[in-house]
Amino acid sequence: MPPRERPGFPPRDDAAEIELVLADPRQLLRDAAVVPLGGNALDPDAAAFIAAEARRRASGAMLRVKVLLPAPLAPGPDAARIASAIASHFGRQAEAATEEVQELFRDGRVTLAIGLTVLVSCLLGAYSIAGFAPSGPGQRILQESLVILGWVSLWRPAETFIYGWAPILRRRRLLRRLAAAEVVVLSRPGGL
């Protein structure tokens, strides 16, 4: 069976290949009766394996998932479901990652507003203490404590906007590559 061409993704010789040798397509696919919305779905363990293998491939390379099945099963209806199951599974996960990063930034904006409010309040409090509290080590400790508390309140939004989004976008990029991967279902050499 020749490689199946997906529109816009002709077979490429430089694609990074992930090879799966299966005894039965059902090792890769979940039973349609147990999938909440019906249709084609990947087994969670199989999806995790494919994603782990894809992470080991060059990040810019096109992916090809090569599924080798016994000769009698390769042209069957379950084999035909494999390509759409892989594309829809990883496509849904990529959409979920997009929603996750949007939610992260939404939460980041809320924590930033809270952090800035706390910072301004603490700085005003530290400034006010200088005007009416007696000068001495106690006043200085209280002022410095308020300043530190104010700056610490910005820790969470800073972490969100500086570091929090990068791993999610990296995962989304991988999931999009997997959703667009060329899927080839072939008979195993030897026909067994």
* pLDDT, tens only, 14-65: 678 899 888 888 888 876 555 555 556 888 888 999 999 999 887 778 899 9
Q: How confident is the model at residue 103 (pLDDT cuts 50, 70, 90)?
A: very high
Three-state secondary structure of 24-85: CHHHCECCCCCCCCCCCCECHHHHHHHHHHHHCCCCCCCEEEEEEECCCCCCCHHHHHHHHH
Rounded CA gap, 66 and 183, in Å? 6
Band (pLDDT 50/70/90 cuts) for residue 6 is very low
Q: Please, which residues have CB within 8 angstroms of residue 121's CB and are 6 or more apart in sequence?
A: 150
Q: How many CB atoms lie within 10 A of CB 166?
A: 10
CA distance 88 to 73: 22
Could you tell me which residues come within 8 angstroms of residue 57 by beta carbon, excluding any fewer than 6 positions away?
16, 18, 63
Q: Which band of pLDDT confidence, cut at 50, 70 and 90, is reported for residue 187?
A: confident
Domain assignments of the chain as residue spans, ordered by start: 16-95+179-187, 97-171
- Residues 139/130, Cβ–Cβ less than 8 Å: yes
Identify the band that residue 161 occupies on the pLDDT scale cut at 50, 70 and 90: very high
Please tell me the predicted confidence (pLDDT) of residue 37: 55
Q: At which residue do the structure tokens 């042209």 appear?
A: 75
* Letter string b/e over residues 135-160, b meaning 16 or more CB atoms within 10 A of that residue's CB: eeeeeeeebeebbeebeebbebbeeb
The mean per-residue pLDDT over the stretch 99-123 comes to 96
User: CA-CA distance, 20 to 6, in Å (whole number)?
Assistant: 19
pTM greater than 0.85 (yes/no) = no
Q: Does the pLDDT of residue 83 top 90, yes or no?
A: no
Residue 7 pLDDT greater than 50, yes or no = no
Q: Percent of the chain having pLDDT more than 90?
A: 46
Given strand 182-187, what is the order of strands in its sheet? 16-21, 63-69, 182-187
